[in-house]
Structure 1
Amino acid sequence: MENNKVWFVTGASKGLGLALVQKLLANGFNVAATSRTVDDLKSAVGHPGEQFLPLSVNLTDEQSVQQAIAATVTAFRHVDVIVNNAGYGLAGSIEELSDAESRGNFDVNVFGTLNVIRAAMPYLRAQRSGHILNVSSIGGFNGAFPGFGIYCATKFAVSGLSESLAAEVAEFGVKVTVVEPGYFRTEFLTAGSFVTPKNQIPDYRKVRESEALHQQQINGAQPGDPAKAADAMIRVVSEQNPPLHLLLGEDAFGLAQSKIQALTAEMETWKPVSVSTGFDA
């Protein structure tokens, strides 16, 4: 892949974002990367060269995002690949999560992504090229996870808006891929990236068991290698016909297959009811 493309990556101080930025810099790409705290970002990435532009950005603030995209274009003269990676996990039943907790998750995971897309598209549209990678989750394809309803809702939103975005921007030569990872060995399930309800309802036994499973057993034992996820994302950007949906991880692939199979069976079972609602001829 030609390494003259300029990448803009959000949520780059840890996890998949950090792995991607480090891989890109090692391969000679120019990279603008964002985090809430620029010093943490510089320390994590550890690259002093001119090909790395660290930016402190509040993704929920449109002006902050617009300034970051503009700074990227000023530094590197153009921007080619946008990676909306920033986000955090929220556990808790639908009933016990407050309005503020739920909206907070949407503000970062969904509206932060939208802010970046709105700021970047004028540049991509003008140059008639570019690629947007929106990092969703297998939880944006299969929502059968007790206690993750709001988080899954944010990721279903990211996957859905990505499909529409792809149809909207194709005429400008801009490509869109929604990345849907399974479990990768990052800090995602640690306290700084994984939020639980302030007011828990004891009746939700399955939700508490799911939270404990993620924090105490899955955390630190995830099967996915972040460096290999970074390789996969870099590869799809080099493809002439990249996928709209990129599942990452054998676990994600299996969960997607099981959802498709179950939905297909359910559709066939209920087809007579589904098709019975039209006007009689």
Structure 2
Amino acid sequence: MATTLPKVWLITGTSSGFGRRLVNIVLQRGDRVIATARTLVKIDDLPKSSNLHCAELDISTGTENVEKQVVAAVTAAQALGWDTIDVLVNNAGVGLPSLLEEGGAAKMMIQYQTNVFGTLDVTNAVLPYMRKQKSGTVVMMGSRSGWRSEIKVIGFYGSSKAAIHAISETLAVELEPLGIRTLIVEPGAFRTENIYIHPFAESNAIADYNEEREKSIATWSLPAGKQPGDPDKAMKAVVEVVCGEGRAKGKEWPLYLVLGKDADRDIRNKCARMIRHLDEWSDVVRDVDLDEIAS
């Protein structure tokens, strides 16, 4: 009987949160992990294992630097005899709270540099290895915030996750003929660390927003430690889907993996609101085609 080789996972953002938990779960099932973080000191307390290789990867440093860091990490893993990258998990990301006008394009660029451009840089650096072997799985960490961007002060973050959602849908159809799968994970609120570590942007305070800003600052981090989601259960679900095990066994590849009752609720509400709009405004929506030219 053929022996199934352990998968090799490259996981970004493993210093805390989903990434750290995913490393532990993957190691427990006997697979191999290239765990990355901005600095090695942040992950030097990960469990010691011959199946773990730690590497520095700062996805916000620009395309050329990201590619060099990814190649270095993969080359070091290959020296250990790990000749493939079976799964890429784009988990690294940040959330920068700000009112949109006060943060402006400058804050938007900082947010997108990590969550969108950096994620795409990592993906593009890993894809040549997957294309060569004609197999692989790319996991993109989205967020229910991409569906519920009406929440105040997360406009930059929510829009970055909506961008990842849209990019990933295109990526999925581009990669499928090459034997590479894409999974878009859409989690709700989970009890992870460091979600609220970034300070609220106040350097460009506009007087008209003073009351709104003060309320937002006072309530920004209140959910910390009260989120309903269990991050360990969430990452176990990701592993089940990627590996076709447990509840995912025998099911078709989902493309989307929504996690959390709150995410379920918010996505259903958004879809229902759009359907209502299409129904209520159908006379306008459907009445803008060019008039037929009389024959």
TM-score band w.r.t. shorter chain: over 0.9
Q: How far did 1:101 drift?
A: 2.2
Aligned to 1:153, the other structure's residue is in SS state: helix
For residue 232 of structure 1, the aligned residue among 222, 237, 244 is 237
Partner of 2:255: 244
What is the TM-score with the length of structure 1 in the denominator? 0.92
**Structure 1 segment 58-207 matched on structure 2, within 5 A:** 58-59=58-59, 60=61, 61-62=65-66, 63-75=68-80, 76-191=82-197, 194-199=198-203, 200-204=205-209, 205-206=211-212
Q: Could you tell me whether the CA contact under 8 Å between 1:88 and 1:188 is conserved in 2?
A: no
Q: Could you tell me whether the CA contact under 8 Å between 2:131 and 2:178 is conserved in 1?
A: yes
Structure 2 segments unaligned to the other structure (5+ residues): 245-250
Q: Could you tell me whether the CA contact under 8 Å between 1:109 and 1:154 is conserved in 2?
A: yes
Q: Could you tell me whether the CA contact under 8 Å between 1:133 and 1:179 is conserved in 2?
A: yes
Question: Are the structure 2 counterparts of residues 42 and 242 from structure 1 closer, same or farther at C-alpha, using a change threshold of 3 Å?
Answer: farther
Cα deviation 1:15-40 (Å, max 9, x = unaligned): 01001111111221100010011122
Q: Could you tell me whether the CA contact under 8 Å between 1:57 and 1:65 is conserved in 2?
A: yes
Structure 1 segments unaligned to the other structure (5+ residues): none
- In 1, distance between residues paired with 2:259 and 2:156? 22
- In 2, distance between residues paired with 1:94 and 1:243? 34
Aligned length: 275
Q: Could you tell me whether the CA contact under 8 Å between 1:58 and 1:65 is conserved in 2?
A: no
Question: Are the structure 2 counterparts of residues 258 and 127 from structure 1 closer, same or farther at C-alpha, using a change threshold of 3 Å?
Answer: same
Partner of 1:18: 20
Q: How far did 1:78 drift?
A: 0.8
Computing the radius of gyration from Cα coordinates, the structure with the larger value is 2
Q: Could you tell me whether the CA contact under 8 Å between 2:184 and 2:256 is conserved in 1?
A: yes
Partner of 1:253: 264
- In 2, distance between residues paired with 1:162 and 1:66? 22
Q: Could you tell me whether the CA contact under 8 Å between 2:70 and 2:126 is conserved in 1?
A: no
Q: How far did 1:3 drift?
A: 6.6
- In 1, distance between residues paired with 2:28 and 2:83? 21
- In 2, distance between residues paired with 1:65 and 1:31? 14
Question: Are the structure 2 counterparts of residues 211 and 235 from structure 1 closer, same or farther at C-alpha, using a change threshold of 3 Å?
Answer: farther
Partner of 2:36: 34
- In 2, distance between residues paired with 1:263 and 1:242? 26
Q: How far did 1:207 drift?
A: 5.1
Bigger shift: 240-249 or 104-113?
Answer: 240-249
Cα deviation 1:34-89 (Å, max 9, x = unaligned): 0011122121x2x2221000001121333223322343344311110000000011
